[in-house]
Amino acid sequence: MKKLINSPDSVIADALRGMAAAHPSLAVDLENRVVSRAGGVMAGKVGLVSGGGSGHEPLHGGYVGYGMLDAAAPGEVYTSPVPDQILAATKAADHGSGVLHIVKNYTGDVLNFRMAAELAEDEDIRVVSVVTNDDAAVEDSTYTAGRRGVGGTVFVEKLAGAAAEEGADLDTVAALATRVNEATRSFAIALHAGTVPAAGKPGFDLAENEVELGVGIHGEPGRERGTMQPVHDLVGYALDVIHADRPIAGDQLVMLNGQGGTPLIELYGAFAEAVAWIEGHGGTVARSLVGNYITSLDQQGFSITVMSLDDELLRLWDAPVSTPALRWGR
Amino acid sequence: MAFDVQTATAWITASEAVVKANEARLTGLDAAIGDGDHGANMARGLAAALANIAEKEPATPGDVLVAAGRGIVAKTGGASGPLYGTAFRRAGKALGDATEATAEQVGDALEAALTAIKELGGAAEGDKTMVDGLAPAVAAFRQAVADGGDLASASVAAADAAEAGLAATVPLQARKGRASYLGARSVGHEDPGAASLALILRALAEVTA
């Protein structure tokens, strides 16, 4: 598999150097691998930190900036960051009013963030953690590690970030993040697996007529294999699963996300199907994102994330944001 | 023989070598039911453990294991970093100030490692995790010591039990970690964490022989 890299070992360092050069609004700590805002301390503001394995760009570094995150900690490809690195990000995000950790529910992320939170408390930084788990593909039961945190994480980072920018305190921001997570569901379908640079070949094999239904964001196989169908049917399948888990009604925020290897023309086609499905079920698409927002390297496929909007969530969504990947109103 | 600084350091050195030699196999096991990075992560983590031991120059076998654990936590990431790192750190602390730990004390240290992994990861035996290798290994080690065995024979018993535990993970359905998302499709594969654990305990048996 051809990759536009120097070597698998240098992928992350090279990408961080590029981010630093492309975005003067970011401070990129190449040694600790922390991406933070260049602006310095903002007295009284709650800090927001997220992080996770690399390969999901623009998540999380692309969401550092006004109205979203204060700092991000990118780990190795598909591997969570380490506690010292998350601690460095937490310090970079600390403006003296506590720090919110936004953690996707994957065992490695949860464990490393938990250890980092303890280290931060030792340095008198108050940390509250919110674990996202919006993936409707996984049963939350004693038989699994729980639902995975996927596309809904983007909504949590945007909405909690807007609340923090308005001056809300740590407990209020954390409660909002929890509310957003609970109001959000996602489902993903892969057509072709992504390739981890160090592995050099796709993470799983799909035949020409097969799709992976309920795939996670790390190339891990989903809950079952299905047959390839027109986009109308694939989008319908995804929304049926979400709807059965949490009914889709009223005003919706919808993200039609590409996994990194699917062209925008196909994503727009999928989004048209999603709008038709939601309107056919009596809902309204009030706000939307279409594009690559939480990817799996070069994986082909899409995910749909939907959230029911109320007045407060709509206002926070429309609030100004200025990051490399999301930018409006400012 | 006793478990001293040289033996403890030799254990970590041998563990790094055997994991490095098996990196592709561990990664292959992980690709089948996880995300395919266990081999690379463990190789990186144990190399960091060795580097930290070299830097800290620990004076007791307990401090060797603590230094190893800290190195692993600092560089590994994923779930295996906190789990293995905390396991080595707690095992080291359980050895206290002893300069030459007895077989019984090593048994206590292995038990402390098992407790740490269970607490942090929330896994029990039968969940298809490294606990399925370590739990029977700790029991076998203690039984061997109770039967009058020395460090060498107890370590062989532990390694044998860990390998049997690894084989027993094949028919299990995962209930923890990333493999749990596969449900019934996780059946029929060795657990990668139990596989690396078996390699590390076989390394202990070899350096104490």
Q: How many domains does chain A have?
A: 2
| Structural domains counted in chain B | 1
Residues contacting A10, CB < 8 A, separation 6+: none
Whether A194 and A224 map to the same domain: the answer is yes
CB of A77 less than 8 A from some CB of B? yes
Q: What's the mean pLDDT in B42-56?
A: 97
What per-residue confidence (pLDDT) applies to A74?
Answer: 98
Tokens of A243: 């709807």
Q: A232 with A152, same domain?
A: no
Contact B62, B49 (CB under 8 A): no
Regarding whether A82 and A32 lie in a shared domain, the answer is yes
**Whether residue A308 sits in one domain with residue A194:** yes
Q: Is residue A36 part of a domain?
A: yes
In A, minimum Cα distance to B74 occurs at A82
**CB–CB contact B77 A221 (8 Å):** no
Q: Looking at residue B185, what is its pLDDT?
A: 84
Same domain, A15 and A110: yes
The answer to whether residue A328 is domain-embedded is no
Instruction: State the residue range of the domain holding A269.
Output: 186-316
ipTM of the shown complex = 0.81
> A187 pairs with which residues across the strands?
A304
CA distances from B20 to B7, B98, B177, B202 (A): 20, 30, 23, 14
Looking up residue A237, the CATH number of its domain turns out to be 3.30.1180.20
Give domain status of residue A27, yes or no. yes
Q: Are residues A64 and A115 in the same domain?
A: yes
Residues A266 and A142 in one domain: no
Q: In angstroms, rounded to a whole number, what is the distance separating the alpha carbons of residues B161 and B133? A: 7
Task: Out of A39-43, B38-42, B66-70, B105-109, pick the least confident.
Answer: A39-43
List pLDDT tens digits, range B163-192: 999 999 999 999 888 888 888 888 999 999
pLDDT along chain A (330 residues), means of 10: 93 98 98 94 94 97 98 95 97 97 95 93 95 88 79 98 98 98 97 90 89 88 86 98 96 98 98 98 98 97 98 98 96
Instruction: Name the residue in chain B with its Cα closest to that of A140.
Output: B181
In chain B, the residue whose alpha carbon lies closest to the alpha carbon of A115 is: B82
Provide, as residue numbers in chain B, all residues whose Cβ is less than 8 Å from the Cβ of A193: none
Q: What is the mean pLDDT of residues B80-108?
A: 96
Of the residues A182, A200, A225, the one at which a domain ends: A182
Q: Which of A182, A211, A227 is the last residue of a domain?
A: A182
Residues of A in contact with B180 (CB under 8 A): 143-145
Query: Are A159 and A191 within one domain?
Result: no
The DSSP symbol for A128 reads E
Instruction: Transcribe B107-173 into DSSP letters.
Output: HHHHHHHHHHHHHHH---TTSSSTHHHHHHHHHHHHHHHHTT--HHHHHHHHHHHHHHHHHHTTTPP
Q: Is residue A23 part of a domain?
A: yes
Of B31, B74, B77, the CB nearest to A80: B77
Q: How far is CA B163 from CA A214, B135, B140, B172, B181, in A?
A: 33, 12, 12, 15, 25
Range of the domain at B184: 5-208
Tokens of B187: 């059946």
- Do the chains contact at B36 and A199, CB–CB below 8 Å? yes
Whether A148 and A135 have beta carbons less than 8 Å apart is answered as: yes
Is A2 a member of any domain?
no
* C-alpha span between A207 and A95 (Å, rounded): 51
Find the residue in A nearest to B184 (Cα).
Answer: A223
Phi, psi of B26, deg, nearest 5: -65, -40
DSSP conformation letters of A80-126: PPPHHHHHHHHHHH--SS-EEEEEES-HHHHHHHHHHHHHHHHTT--
CATH code (residue B30)? 1.25.40.340
Chain A CB contacts of B83 below 8 Å? 111
Domain boundary residue, one of A139, A167, A182: A182
3-state secondary structure of B3: strand
Q: Tell me which residue in A76, A138, A204 faces B77 most closely, judged by beta carbons.
A: A76
Residues 89-118 of B with CB under 8 A from A: none
* Short-list A82, A120, A78, CA closest to A100: A120
Catalytic residues of A: 56, 218
Q: Is B67 left (phi over 0), alpha (psi -120 to 50) or beta?
A: alpha
What is the C-alpha end-to-end distance of chain B, expressed in Å?
9
Q: How distant, in Å, are the alpha carbons of A112, A325, B29 from that of A151?
A: 21, 14, 28
Residues A247 and A175 in one domain: no
Residues A107 and A206 reside in one and the same domain? no
User: What CATH number should be reported for the domain holding residue A149?
Assistant: 3.40.50.10440
* Interchain CB distance below 8 Å, A199 and B79: no
Q: What pLDDT is stored for residue A118 in this prediction?
A: 86
Cβ B81–A82 below 8 Å, yes or no?
yes
Q: Which residues, at least 6 apart from A140, have a Cβ–Cβ distance to it below 8 Å?
A: A133, A146, A147
Position B69 confidence tier, pLDDT thresholds 50, 70, 90: very high
Q: Residue A280 class from Cβ within 10 Å (0-12 exposed, 13-18 middle, 19+ buried)?
A: exposed
CA distance A145 to chain B (A): 5
Which residues of B, range 7-36, sit inside 8 Å of A by Cβ?
A: 27, 31, 34-36
Nearest in space to A36 (alpha carbons), one of A91, A80, A75: A91
What secondary structure does DSSP assign to A15-78, as a single string? HHHHHHHH-TTEEEETTTTEEEETT---TTPPEEEEEEEESSTTTTGGGBSBTSBSEEEEEEET
One domain for residues A177 and A195 = no
Q: What residues have CB less than 8 Å from A167, skipping those under 6 apart?
A: A44, A45
* Contacts with B, A 248-307, CB within 8 Å: none
Q: How far apart are CA B192 and CA A119, in angstroms?
A: 29
- A172 and A193 part of one domain: no
The confidence band for B31, taking pLDDT boundaries of 50, 70 and 90, is confident
Q: How far is B73 from chain A (nearest CA, A)?
A: 7
N-terminal to C-terminal alpha carbon distance within chain A? 41
Q: CB distance B37–A77 less than 8 Å?
A: yes
pLDDT at A65: 97
How far apart, in whole angstroms, are the C-alpha atoms of residue A202 and residue A140?
28
Flag whether A17 is in a domain.
yes
Model pTM? 0.90
Residue A330 falls inside a structural domain: no
Whether residue B37 and residue A106 make contact (CB cut-off 8 A), yes or no, is no
Q: Residue A119 falls within a domain, yes or no?
A: yes
